[in-house]
A and B are shown apart, each in its own frame.
Chain A
């Protein structure tokens, strides 16, 4: 190396010059690249100046004058402006990085790439981006954009009385969150819904897991006949689309014509039970239905695990005089739990957000007087009601945020333990 870093200062000069995009590349004598950065920056600024200007103004003020300003349009434009700025900053960063790296190469006396090599580099390195572009584009608009929107919405007073185009929406900071925890009506509803969500998640999920494991172990006995057909029957509730089954159950539990009261309970001489009008019995019915819907999935998974447990383990245990129960506790259960632990956790998060069964069975009802949530509403169905029945968008967004934090916390905790997270190329 004839020129080392301390003698020449190309990297610093190039970096400083490319504060104006392109100049650093000119300095590095990469004219074409510099020109491209320069043109890209200019056209970016010209094309998006208005959007960024209005968007940033809009997202800060959410509109000042009626009927000219529509707060929600402005909020949307604001998010787009922020995304555009983010892309702009990314290009700017790439420009700085490129100037710096090439400057350093010159300091170290490494020859720079020719135009032809640069072209080949771009087409070589650009290919993965080309493959990712359509998917990412879609993801930004239908997944990331809505998430940003909800986050921002949770800090506004957007509701029935502050609803464009007739009214303006304003930023109110964390007032929604404060209200949920401090205003009596909100706090009571929130606590009711939240505690039922937790009870529902734990009882329904644990029950379906227990039933699934029990039946799988039962079906794993070697001397049992008709295994194929019985297994198919056991998987049937999973095969039928859930919305169909739930609606059918809503009919079966119906108090006037449903089969549960009229046929089954009547046959045992039990009085009719108010399945849909009494909160307690609705909860019981929901949990029983979820058992029915949820166990086949666990059953199928556990069946797969059981078939892979080596027989020698059981034979050794039999020689040692272990009972059936001891064999289950010491061999079968640990093997099952080890193999399907991640799936079990997703079952909990799935039921935590199991909108279908709550909403389709009884609409979250029976209603509770003075509350926006019914007595069997879980967080997600309450959010739905706040959005579509009472137009409490701001509050609904705040509750969505609370719900998402819970789900992400659980999921992160889970994924830290799974394979995909520990892959060599992830870290």
Chain B
């Protein structure tokens, strides 16, 4: 049967392409995991499956006397969570106002947001640096959190507003007739219904600071204040190769939890990105 032949050839070719793609994707992963178990500091003479595998590099990272790694982890989590809380609170309020009220300046406000979301906020890096410097906020987590939260507002407000627009207005109106005030309608009716989009916004607000490098690099100066991105970069840029195995262990410890978090919440990401039309 020629169609059967054709099918077999097509499937075989597909599996070959898929296998090649999987190797290309997984090779760096295997290499870095292998490196992290590799004894010694450098990689010369190492192989993907090290002969005398060691957990030493992981222990080094957890040794707070010698490594700031745990501190960086803590800093990053702290910054991400505070940013997330601030951003979600502000975004839900703003989205509610834009979605449910018609007020003077609404149209201009929405336009401003639309334009602001087009320029990544690190484009103004000179200004952020100089302003943080002259206000004395350079090298503080406070400044970083404010910049992250501010940068998240325009795009995510649009995202959340779009979702709130789909919640029927009759719900608010009947609540209003029952005597509920503005804030109560927001808190007890809209917010519970908006949970799916708030989850998406929260996820973005957590991941964006986590994966950001440039803003943290601009604002943070002292080693004990670093986030993971900046710390990991310094770890290999200062003395490239000399600490590579420790760096590898550090990478693995970041990649595993974040990948699991990401893969399990993947559909939220995709729904949010399809609605927002931007990559976080």
Residues of chain A touching chain B, judged by Cβ–Cβ distance below 8 Å, are 72-73, 76, 125, 127-129, 131-132, 134-136, 138-139, 141-147, 149-150, 153, 215, 218-219, 221, 223-224, 230, 232-245, 247-252, 254, 256-257, 259, 263, 292, 297, 300-301, 304, 342-343, 346-347, 349-350, 353, 355-356, 359-360, 363, 380, 383-384, 387-388, 393, 396-397, 400, 403-404, 407-408, 411-412, 415, 418, 420-421, 425-426
Contacts and interface: CB of A to CB of B under 8 A. Distances in A.
A132 B94 contact: yes
A138 B279 contact: no
Contacts of B131: 76, 145-146, 149
Please list the 7 inter-chain residue pairs (A to B) with the smallest Cβ-Cβ separation, ordered nearest first.
Answer: A142-B150, A146-B127, A411-B118, A146-B124, A128-B101, A128-B97, A149-B127
13 contacts: A72-B134, A129-B97, A132-B97, A135-B90, A142-B150, A147-B124, A243-B232, A292-B24, A343-B273, A359-B213, A383-B125, A384-B125, A397-B127
B153 A139 contact: yes
Interface in B235-277: 236-237, 240-241, 244, 247-248, 251, 254-255, 258-259, 262-263, 266, 270, 273-274, 277
A415 B211 contact: no
Contacts of B118: 349, 407-408, 411-412, 415
B96 interface: yes
Chain B interface main SS type: helix
A383 B122 CA distance: 11
A149 B263 contact: no
B5 interface: no
B74 to A, nearest CB: 17
A297 B240 CA distance: 31
A21 B112 CA distance: 29
B121 A236 contact: no
A232 B263 contact: yes
Contacts of B25: 233-234, 236-237, 292
Given A138-B146, A257-B43, A346-B278, A252 B7 contact: no
A248 B251 contact: yes
A135 B274 contact: no
Contact of A135 (B21, B93, B101, B122): B93
Contacts of B22: 230, 233
Contacts of A234: 21, 25
Contacts, number: 261
Given A134-B90, A135-B153, 15 more contacts: A131-B94, A134-B93, A135-B90, A135-B91, A143-B150, A153-B127, A153-B130, A223-B7, A236-B29, A243-B213, A257-B44, A300-B266, A350-B278, A353-B123, A400-B124
B97 A215 contact: no
B149 interface: yes
Contact of A353 (B101, B110, B120, B158): B120
B229 interface: yes
Nearest to B149: A138
B177 interface: no
A387 B119 CA distance: 19
A238 B258 CA distance: 11
B53 interface: no
Interface in B128-143: 128-131, 134
Given A218-B17, A415-B114, A242 B211 contact: yes
A244 B114 contact: no
B147 A257 contact: no
B103 A218 contact: no
A218 B10 CA distance: 10
Given A237-B25, A242-B211, A297-B279, A387 B101 contact: no
